[in-house]
Structures are given as structure tokens and as C-alpha cells.
Amino acid sequence: ESHSVVRMGTEGAYAPWNFINDAGEVDGFERELGDELCARAELTCEWVTNDWDSIIPNLVSGNYDTIIAGMSITPERDEIIDFTQEYTPADPTAFVAMTEDLDPANSVIAAQTGTIQAGYIADQGWTLVEFATPEETIAAVRAGEADAVFADQSYLAGAIEGQDDLIMLEQTVALGGGVGMGLRESDTELREKFDAAIQSMKDDGSLNELISKWEVASLFE
Amino acid sequence: MFSFCADPETLESVQWLACYLTTGKHMGFYWSFLTVLTLLAITAPLALIFGFGGAIAARSTIAPLSWFGKGYIAIVRGVPDIAFFLFFVIALDQGIEYLRHKIKCPDWPDTIRQGNDFIVCQAAKMPLGNAPQWVHETYGYFIAVFTFAIVFGAFAGNVLFGAMRAVPKPQIETAEAYGMTRRQSFWRIIVPQMWVYALPGLGNLWMVLIKATPLLFLLGVEDIVYWARELGGTKTPRFTDYPHGDWRVWYFLVLLVFYLAFTRLSEIVLDRVMRRLTAGQATSGGEAQRRAAA
Amino acid sequence: MTDPVIEIRNLHKSYSALEVLKGVDVTAPAGHVVSLIGSSGSGKSTLLRCANLLEDSQEGDVIFCGEPVVWKGTGLHRHPGDHAQMIRIRTNLSMVFQQFNLWSHMTILQNVMEAPLTVLKRDRAEVEASARAYLDKVGIGDKCDVYPAQLSGGQQQRAAIARALCMEPKALLFDEPTSALDPELEQEVVKVIKDLAAEGRTMLVVTHDMRMARDISDHVVFLHQGLIEEEGPPEAVFDAPQSERLRGFLSVTQSA
Amino acid sequence: MTDPVIEIRNLHKSYSALEVLKGVDVTAPAGHVVSLIGSSGSGKSTLLRCANLLEDSQEGDVIFCGEPVVWKGTGLHRHPGDHAQMIRIRTNLSMVFQQFNLWSHMTILQNVMEAPLTVLKRDRAEVEASARAYLDKVGIGDKCDVYPAQLSGGQQQRAAIARALCMEPKALLFDEPTSALDPELEQEVVKVIKDLAAEGRTMLVVTHDMRMARDISDHVVFLHQGLIEEEGPPEAVFDAPQSERLRGFLSVTQSA
Amino acid sequence: MECLDTIADYGLRSIGIGERLLPRENFTLCQQFTLIGSGMLWNIYFGVLSLLAGFFLATAVALGKAARNPVLRKSSEWFIFIFRGSPLFIQFFFAYFLFLALKGQYPFFDPFTAAWLGALLVLFLNTSAYTGEIFYGALQSIPKGDIEAADAYGLSGWSRFRRVIWPTMLRLAWPAYTNEAIFLFHSTTLVYFSGFPAWQQKGDALYYASYFADKTFNPFVPYPILAGYFILLTLVIITLMGRIGARLNRHLPQEAKRTRFRFRPQLIR
Ligand SMILES: Nc1ncnc2c1ncn2[C@@H]1O[C@H](COP(=O)(O)OP(=O)(O)OP(=O)(O)O)[C@@H](O)[C@H]1O
Ligand SMILES: Nc1ncnc2c1ncn2[C@@H]1O[C@H](COP(=O)(O)OP(=O)(O)OP(=O)(O)O)[C@@H](O)[C@H]1O
Ligand SMILES: [Mg+2]
Ligand SMILES: [Mg+2]
């Protein structure tokens, strides 16, 4: 199967990984990374945004060819689709609250509906309140509806920048694996191309450069 | 947009706002209003046609056709539009590609379902894999229109079915007594008279349809609500030249005004139509009109 | 002039439990006017409605111009079996309803032109001319462009008569065509009916007006509780009624 | 018996451009029956409708039992100003409509009982008894529990009459109360009207039946093109008509 | 039976009774049916209460809009306009926002930011506006003769309304009102989808359906299950409303029985 144009599916609502910039285009760490990978693999690429909820079904159904949307590699996902090797290491999950002294077990923790973070809080038996968008989780803390937000550190860092009332707590939790690019299981050829391209970026250090530029995760050793 | 927008940090508030409101992202926002309006303009007549077809089928004396019509009206009407949009569009898309695949690549060796994947030959892709982005977007848009029309067609079918039955029996009987066939009395008496009974229901449906457009994003179309959320959310200086706090309230207020204005416009038009339909009729509406005119 | 145009034989009709017609025979030869009289609720309107197949009857025959209606099913499930035949009969048989039943969404002129245009497919200009002529004839030529709801009762009734005439049918069914008309107009209608009969059209007329029945009829049928109690030429029926019931029915009219 | 119960003075009424009543005076003393005759479209129904305030009139007065209707506004905006008064007048003034206007969602018995129960707040058992009695009186006691759509034209008209009678009002307005009735029933209705007059009730009756008008009336009013052309006791009006128009109108009736 | 256990564990999960944790892996069909069904409790709760309460407000609003009194008329018109003129989720957004603000001021408003009260209130007002407009439309097409006869017999005010206008209004409005009832139940899926937060993973049917879709990456199982539940619910609504509708129309001649046996050779008529 040949791909004359590779359609790259992303969400566009998860800075700094991927977001829509002032010009209305997809921007962020993954945009830059994806463009570089396509250049190295000598592919013509096109960017497509899709709602997070249906991002995997639409890939499987062939509406685009890759998912490059800050998606952690988990065993469950890996059963349905294939992943390239990870292009960032696991990003820790962190809390943001109004005060330093937060005891998660006796607080109301906000998370985005259906995320692994929400699942984790439910597992712990803490009081979970779920909102449809990450934006609302932060608003809820400010409004006093929740005591803390539980989300990816890189996202929280970007979201509270310049907002003095909110504090990122020291405590972090490691959830999920590294982030990789998702592809259809039948699309082995394309996966190999991207794998090779990621490897070459790892090898020449350009990947680490990108990671530190966008502050999305820790660097590769 | 404006030449002075080069370095937004130095701007005064008015200029800043002018620059802010003309970013590419805002252009997307403005454009999406047009998207929504065209969606409505295409969906409404299409849904009416589907509904009319459904109602006619449901009234048919041929059992299978009548079951089909009633089934369509009852089942599609039964599913919440959100739930319908969440799986139907993908299914529809796959269905189209499946058919194209059967026609275009009859001797394709592999199966279409490979594990979790749905794979058809390149020629059967809809639109073709190498088509430019706007073709993909237009295709997605029309799939969305079609889906909306199917859903709202079922409701329109129900309204029209009821309206056809509300036409007083003697009126139809008279037509038959004058030798009109069922078909003739349907088109000459029932259809013209049913609008009076159907219009309030259809008007309501139109209002509901307008309010359903925020669901467009579920169908992969970037609509006004998507942009309002996107633009209104808190922006930190790292990712934008125009940082601001949570401005969703303001953006949603803009949407509110848009929807209210559009509703008002629709009401005025519907009111005119209703006035025409009730003119001279022996109903309280016609009576009120007569008294008002006096 | 003796071929029957409308022939009804042994007609039975029930509304679920209520038997309204219990075996009625009526024959109307070409160019004849047959009047149906009888007390309220005796089944006169029902008989007319059965004659042009608006109601299904359970037993008996309806024969129009020598052609018997083809039935399908029996008893309560009996209904006309040949659609084309039904249409053919109805276009040759116009009815004026007791409640007028003008189409409320059309102006008076449109009401009159509707069936000739859509059913008979006649030429529009020609139909319009004849519609206006008929409306003038019944005296409401000035009400062409108003809706039925804006007419007085008598005006509506006259519009309904014009509508039936404009079909120029072989036979007409009138259900109390003068109930809402003043004596002057009633005389006009009597004249119209007589003219129609002279043109060779056949008519079944339900009426409560004995004077009119006597004036126009070639034959009078007295219906009582779903059966024909007595019938005959008007002179016989009105001047020498045989049955007790008919004598009772007529006495009030005569005495006054 | 000479206090006027219904008094209409110089009444003017237009439907937008069409002037239907052009200054009409009608007086009906207690226990009197006043008949309105006139050709179709002359404004008889309109006059009745103005009398019980269903239509707003533009000029003139309506006086019921000596109490003049209070108006608000002028000209085309004139309408009754005192709601309580309007209700009071209407409950004492029942109307039988030309098109019957039975409430289609109620059975015949419910139709008759409705107003006495909800407006007059009379006792249910008593109202039911009297409703059944009135329905029997008009000969449709067996149709108590069916809906109007299942009745013949004459039966509907009789139900409408029973509905009006059951209100036991001071005055009644009849709009062609016998149009759908056969002569026998018509005589029944004439008898009912005479009985009511004997009980002291006042009536305004629109009719096309000159015989009936002569039978029942104390006073006959001939309406022509929105004006009273002639009026007087029945003998005078019918036997010695003064005006050209009335003579023309009556000639058809007499001659036959 | 394994499935019975699942039902026991999760049947009432949406209202916080039963298993604390949602299933995490090896999702069975039974689990999906049970949890989504459990979520339906909320959809039914929101739908039934707001529909019942809305019926009365809608009647009042429709009468208000038809009233001569300009204050009544204008306020009814504006009420209908605002709630019918804006998408439900914007109403949810502003209501939540407003309740949050009020809560900061007055403790009375504490429960309003929870869906069970806040969303219910919004849905109630929303359906009242839509239904009010439907009823108003029906009021406009009541046959003139019916009202005239009522007027002529001195029926006025409340009794004229209750005995003559109201039954006819309902009869004329019924098909559209049935549609509105269905729409209302459908809109209850928006409560947690975009509007109010879900606490402790207690949500409505759509909440659980998208939970499963998210975990299994397969929209073709949970959403059709959800659709199936709603079709059932809709059929119940249609049946109930149809019964009432038949009662409202019981005076019309029963034509259906007769025509059923007719076969007409045309495909379309
Ligand atoms: N709602 C209306 N709008 C406009 N014109 C009307 C309306 N109702 C009646 N008219 C006109 O007013 C005139 C008088 O009508 P009305 O019903 O009073 O006549 P009528 O004397 O009762 O006649 P009939 O004996 O035929 O019942 C008629 O010419 C009629 O066309
Ligand atoms: N749709 C119906 N359902 C049940 N019964 C009906 C129906 N239509 C008429 N009837 C009954 O059938 C009988 C005959 O009615 P029909 O209308 O033929 O009487 P009619 O002779 O025309 O009387 P009128 O002179 O009063 O018009 C009446 O008793 C009536 O109640
Ligand atoms: Mg009859
Ligand atoms: Mg009249």
C-alpha cells in the first residue's frame, strides 16, 4: 500500500504538544516533530484535526493515516492499533492547587472525563469530579468546586504560566508509558518509515532539542 | 492583518483588540459561521424531503413500504442525535467505501476487515487518499449534512404524518366524491391543507436544528462552538502573542447573540408564512388576523 | 329516456352496530329527478354517500349507467374492487354535501375550478369562464376571490352547488341543496334543477322541503328507518299517501 | 310584557371594507318572538352575532334588559369594555348557530351539560336530568353518548337546540334552527319556540321559512342589504307588504 | 450467572450504589449493557421531572403569549425567545457559571452546581419554552366555531379554557409535543457531555457509553447499546403519548379499521 499523501491526525487542543496557533494552524511540539519526520521519511504530509473521543476509530477506519496527538503507548491501545517507538519518555502526572498543603485523599480532585488520570483517582478512592474539557478542570479549582487538578505535568505547566494564584505541587505520579505515533496495524510499511525517522532524530540529538524547546517531557538518555 | 500588528506586546488596547480579532484563528471563527449557515441551508430542505418521503411511505397501503416508513420515523427518532453522530458517521463512511470497493476493485485479494482495520483499495477511498485537504473537508461536510438530514428527516416525517392526518376528513371525502384519485386528493387537498397543522411542528424542528449545530464538531466539522471554546480558553504567553484569561463567557455571549438573532429572523419568516397560511381560515389564528386587520 | 343511470338494489349499510339502511332499491332513469324524503336520521345522506361509494355498503348493488360496481370482500369488509371504475363513476356523479364541505384553503373560484382542472383535465381558460358563469348563475359572482370561511351560510351552499355543476356530470346528488337558502334563492335552485333535468341529467335530491320535492321530482321516495316505506310519482305520494307513516309525516305540511 | 329584553339601536358593522350592517334597529320585548327574514348575505347572522357580542360593531348600541353594553374605543377598535357584563349578557342569551358549532371533542350529552355546569354552576344530577329531558324533547335521547361527527345533519341541529334550551336563558337567538329538519321536526321546533314564548322567553329567530316566520312571530323584520327595509306584525308583512323589494322576495313563496 | 453478579454490582452504579470502581479491562457485553442501562436512570430522572413540571409552565407561557395584557405577553415572548433561541449547552454553560457565582454569595445555592438540581432546572425551563411555543401554535389553530360557541354560552376565563380550549389545544399540539418529549429525553444526554461535572464517575447513559468507547476504542458497541436503550425509551414515550393522543382524538370517526383492508396498487399517493 502506497501513501502518496500521509494524513496526520491530531487533536489541536493540548498545548504544548499540539494546539492551534494564532494563525489558525496546527502548531506545537508534535507539529514540528511531525514535519521533520515526514521530511526525513520523504513523505508528503497533511495535518488533520479530530475530536479526541473518536481519534482511534477514525484512524482504524482510514480517515487519516497516523495519530500524533500526545498519545501514551498503553497495552490496551496497542491491541487495537500499532505504535512507533516512543518519541518522548513518559510524562509525569502532577497536581495543581490553590495551596501547597493538599492531601489528595481528603480533597476533591478534578480531571478530564475518561482520562487515565480520572481512572487513577477513582482507583485510589479519592473524590473525583470529571469535566468535559481540561480548561474547565482548572476553572473548577479557581471557583472552589475542586481542590486540585490532576493532569499531565507539561500541560499544567503551560496552562498555569503567569497565573499566580495556582501552584503546581511537588508530588507527581507516573502514569502510562512514553508517547508514540499511532498507526493502523496493517500499515507496517509506513510504521517502519516513521520508526526509522524517529530513530534518526534520536541518534542525531535533534529530538532532544525539540523536547527541551517545547518542554514536553524529560529528555532521552 | 494590520501592519501595526507586528509586535502585539507594544500595542494599546484598541489596536491590540483590532489585531487580536483579526488573527488567522479568528478568521477561522468567522468562517465557521458561514459553515453553520450553509449547513442549515442545505440540511433543512433535505430533511424535509426525507421527512416527506418517510411520511408518504408510512401512509402507504403497501405493507413493506409502510413498515419502512414507520420504522425510519420511529427508530431514527428514537436515537439521541449525539449518540447517532458518534457512530453513524463512521459507519456511513465505511459503508460508502465498502460499496465503492465492491464496484471498483472486484478482484481485490484481501479481506476488507483485517483485525481492527477497515481497509479498502486505494481507488475506493472516499475521497481519494491523495485528494487535497479541501476535498476531504468538503466530503466530511456533506457526510455531516447527510447525517443531520437523516436524523431531522425522521422528526419532520413524524410532524408531516400527523399533519396529514389532521386534515379534516370531509375535505378529503369531498375530493374523492369529485373523482379525484388518492394521488390527486393527496397533492391537491391534503398537502396544501396540512401545512397549517405542520408548520408549528416544523418551525419547532427548525429551532431545534439550529440549536443542534454545535454537535457538528462530533462530525469532524469545525463549527462556531469549537472555535469559541478554543479562542475563549485561557491563553498563556508561551503559545500566543495575545495572552488572556478565561474569556469563554464573552465568546459564548457572542454565540448567544448570534443564535438569538438567527432565531428572531427565523421567527419573523415563519410568522409571515403562518400568516399567509391562516389568512381567511376559520381558526382562532385566522380570526385574530381578521380582527387585527379591522 | 328509460335506461337507468343510477340504480341501487337491495342496499344494506351499517355503522358498526347501527343498521342504517336495511335493503333499499332506488332507480333513477336518465333525465329524471328522484327525491328522497324522510325524517331526520332515516338514512338519506347515507344513501347518497353509498351511491357515490364514499361509504362501503355491506350488501346489495350499485349500478351506474348499466355498469355494476365491482365489489371485493364481503360483509363488513366489502369495498369497491376496481379503482378505475370508482373514479369513472365519481367523475360522472357530482355531489353537493349537506355541510357543503368547501375546501377551506382555496378561494371560491378555485374550489369550483379544482375538479374540472385536475380530474377532467379540461382547459384552464375554458374552465374559468364556465366557473364564473356558474357562480354568477347562483348569484355569488362577486365572491370569487374570498375564502369559504368569509361567506354566509347560504353563500357557501351556493358555492357548493356551482362546484357540482361545473363538473357537468351525467348525474348529480344533492343533499338538502336549499337548506340555507331563502325562498327566492330556493326558487332559483329549483329552476336550475329543472334546467339540468331538461338537459338530460339525472338527479337524486334529498330534501325536507315538500313543496320543492313536488315541484322538481319525477319520482319521490319516502325513506323510513332504513327502508322504503312508500314511493311513486309526486302526485301519488303527496296527494294520496298510502302508508300510515307517510300520512303522518305529511300531515304537518299540509295542515299548515 | 313591554320592557324590551333585547334592544339594538342604529347598529353598524363592517368586515374590513365590506359594510354589512348599515344602521339597524331591532327591539324584542319580553316573551316576544321577532323573526329576521331577508335574502342570503343580507346580514342576518351577523346581526345575531353582534347581539351577543361575538362580533364587535362599529357604531350603535346593544341593550340587554335595559342595560346598555359598555363600549371601549371607537370605530374599528370598538369592543365591549366590561367583561363581567358581557358574561352576564351571554349567559342570559343562548344562541343556536347556523353551522351548529357543537364541540367536537365532547359527546352530545356533554355538549348540552357543559355550560349549565361550568358557567351556571348548577347541580350535576339536576343538569343531567334536564339535559336528557331536552334531548328527548328534540328526539335524540338515544344519541346521548355519541360524538357530533357521528350524527346526521338534522340530529346535530337538534343537539344544538337542546344545548341552547338547557341554559334556560332569558332570551334565545336562533340562526335558521330548522334548516336541516324535516317538516315534522320543524313543527316540533315551532311548538318548542311557542312554548318558550309562553314561558316569557324572548327570541330572535333568523329563518328562511316564511310559513314558520308567520307561525311563530309577534314581529317580523325584513333585512335587505344591511338595512331594515320593512317590519311589522306578521300579518302586515306577509299579507300587505309595502316595499317593492319585500313584495319581490315574498312573491316566489306565495305564488307556488 | 456471571451476568447477574454484574447487574448486582453495577445496576445502580450511576447513583452510587454498588461497586466503587468501574470495570477496567476485559469488558463484557453484560457490563456495557448494565452500566449504560444504569446511566439511563439519570436520563429518565431528568426527562420525566422536567417534562412534568414543564407541562404546566408551558401552558401558562402559551396562554401568556396569547394574552392581551402586554406585560404578560411580552414576558412570555421573551422567556420563550431566550430559551428557544439559544442552544441548550450554552444555557448549561451560563447556568453553571451563574450558579457558581451565586454559590459564592449565598449558601442557599450550594446544591445548584450539581447536575441533579442545576441541570434539571435548566432542562425544565428549556422544555417549558419549546412546549410553550407548541401550545401557542395549537391555540392559534383551534376552530373558530368551537370558541364562538363557548363565548356565546358565557363560558369565560378558566372554564372556557379548561373545558373547550385546552382539550382542543392539546389535541392539535399532541404530535409536536410528542416530538418535544423525545427531544427532551435526548437532550438529557448533554448534561454530563458538556455542562455539568460528573462526580465519582456517576453519570448518565452517554457518560458510560463514551467511557466504554474510550476504553475499548470501538464505538460500534456502546453507542448502539445506548441507541437501543433510547429507542426503547422512545417507544415507551410514543406509546404513552399515543394512548393519550388517541383519547384526545376519540371523537373523530374511526376510519382506520375500514381502510386497513384496502389495497391500492399505487406506490405513492
Ligand atoms: N368573516 C367574514 N369576513 C368577511 N366577510 C364576511 C364574513 N362573514 C360574513 N361576511 C359577509 O357578510 C355578509 C353577511 O353575512 P351573514 O352571514 O350575516 O349573511 P346572512 O344574512 O346570515 O346570510 P345566510 O342567509 O346566507 O346565512 C355576506 O356578504 C358575507 O359574505
Ligand atoms: N359516522 C357515523 N358513525 C355512526 N353513526 C352514524 C355516522 N353517520 C351517521 N350515523 C347515523 O346514521 C343514521 C343516518 O344518518 P344520515 O346522515 O344518513 O341521516 P339523514 O337521513 O341524512 O338525516 P338528516 O336529515 O338529519 O340529515 C343516523 O342515526 C346517524 O346517527
Ligand atoms: Mg343528512
Ligand atoms: Mg347566516
E68 contact D CB<8A: no
Chain A residues closer than 8 Å to E21 by CB:
122-123
Neighbour-count burial for D103-138, b at 16+ CB within 10 Å, e otherwise:
bbbbbbbbbbbbbbbbbbebeeeebbebbbebbebb
* Ligand 1 lined by D42 (C-beta under 6 Å): yes
Q: Which ligand is nearest to the CA of D41?
A: 1
At residue C9, the pLDDT reads 92
User: Is residue B211 within 8 Å of residue B20, measured between CB atoms?
Assistant: no
Digitized pLDDT (tens) for each residue of chain B, 294 residues in all: 566 777 767 777 777 777 888 888 888 889 889 988 988 999 999 999 999 999 999 988 888 999 999 999 888 888 888 888 888 888 888 888 888 888 877 777 777 777 777 777 777 777 776 677 778 888 888 888 898 899 999 999 988 988 888 788 888 888 888 777 788 889 888 888 888 888 878 888 898 898 888 887 777 777 888 888 888 887 777 778 777 878 888 999 999 999 999 999 998 998 888 888 877 676 777 777 766 665
- How far does the centroid of ligand 4 lie from the alpha carbon of residue B57, in Å? 43
The sign of the dihedral angle between the CA atoms of D21, D27, D30, D31 is: negative
Q: Which among B86, B186, B288 has the least Cβ separation from residue E219?
A: B86
Q: Do chains D and A touch (3 or more CB pairs under 8 A)?
A: no
CA distance B74 to chain A (A): 27
Instruction: Find the chain B residues whose C-beta atoms sit closer than 8 A to any C-beta of A.
Output: 23-28, 86, 90, 93-94, 97, 114-120, 122, 125, 129-130, 133, 136, 217-218, 220, 222, 229-230, 233-234, 236-243, 246, 248
Chain E residues closer than 8 Å to D163 by CB:
153
Chain B residues closer than 8 Å to A139 by CB:
246
Average pLDDT, chain D: 89
E138 contact B CB<8A: yes
DSSP string covering D83-101: HHHHHHHHHTEEEE-TT--
* Ligand 1 lined by C155 (C-beta under 6 Å): yes
Who contacts A149 (Cβ-Cβ below 8 Å, separation ≥6)? A95, A96, A97, A109, A110, A111, A134, A137, A138, A140, A141, A156
Q: What is the DSSP letter of A2?
A: -
- Residue E253: pLDDT band by 50, 70, 90 thresholds? low
- Residue E260: pLDDT band by 50, 70, 90 thresholds? very low
Q: Is D4 helix (H, G, I), strand (E, B) or coil?
A: strand
User: Is residue B240 within 8 Å of residue A19, measured between CB atoms?
Assistant: no
At residue B1, the pLDDT reads 57
- How far does the centroid of ligand 2 lie from the alpha carbon of residue E142, in Å? 26
Q: What is the DSSP letter of A89?
A: P
Q: Which residues line ligand 2 (CB under 6 A)?
A: C 15, 18, 20, 40-46, 98; D 150-155, 180; E 253
What is the C-alpha to C-alpha distance for residues B203 and B209, in angstroms, rounded to an integer?
A: 10
Q: For ligand 1, atom 5, which residue shows the shortest CA distance?
A: C150
In chain C, the domains with their CATH numbers are: 4-99+170-255 (3.40.50.300)
Cis preceding-peptide flag for D169 (omega within 30 of 0)? no
pLDDT tens profile A33-50: 999 999 999 998 889 888
Q: For ligand 1, atom 24, which residue shows the shortest CA distance?
A: D40
> What is the reported pTM?
0.82
How is domain B3-293 classified at the architecture level of CATH? Orthogonal Bundle (1.10)
ipTM over 0.90: no
The sign of the dihedral angle between the CA atoms of A91, A97, A100, A105 is: negative
- How far does the centroid of ligand 2 lie from the alpha carbon of residue D137, in Å? 19
At residue B100, the pLDDT reads 84
Grid cell, residue C135, equals 357562480
Per-domain boundaries in chain B: 3-293
Residue spans of chain A under pLDDT 50: 1
The count of residues in chain B is: 294
> Is pLDDT of D190 > 60?
yes
Residues with a beta carbon under 5 angstroms from ion ligand 3: C 45, 98; D 152-153
Of the residues A130, A135, A136, the best mutation for testing chain E's interface (the one with the most E CB atoms within 10 Å of its CB) is A130
Q: What are phi and psi of B82, to 5 degrees?
A: -60, -50
- Mean of pLDDT values over E171-191: 89
Q: Which among D150, D185, D215 has the least Cβ separation from residue C40?
A: D185
Going by C-alpha positions, the residue among E131, B116, B71 that lies closest to residue A79 is B116
Beta bridge partners of D232: D220
In chain E, the domains with their CATH numbers are: 43-260 (1.10.3720.10)
- Mean of pLDDT values over D68-97: 88
* Ligand 1 lined by C250 (C-beta under 6 Å): no
C7 contact D CB<8A: no
At residue A90, the pLDDT reads 84
- Mean of pLDDT values over D39-61: 90
C190 contact D CB<8A: no
pLDDT tens profile C34-66: 999 998 889 999 999 899 888 889 999 999 998
Cβ–Cβ below 8 Å for D118 and E252: no
C-alpha dihedral (A161, A115, E200, E37), degrees to nearest 10: 150
E145 contact C CB<8A: no
What is the C-alpha to C-alpha distance for residues B226 and B228, in angstroms, rounded to an integer?
A: 6
CA distance E48 to chain A (A): 25
* Ligand 1 lined by C153 (C-beta under 6 Å): yes
At residue E227, the pLDDT reads 92
pLDDT tens profile E66-97: 888 999 999 999 999 999 989 998 899 899 88
Cβ–Cβ below 8 Å for E217 and A136: no
D118 contact E CB<8A: yes
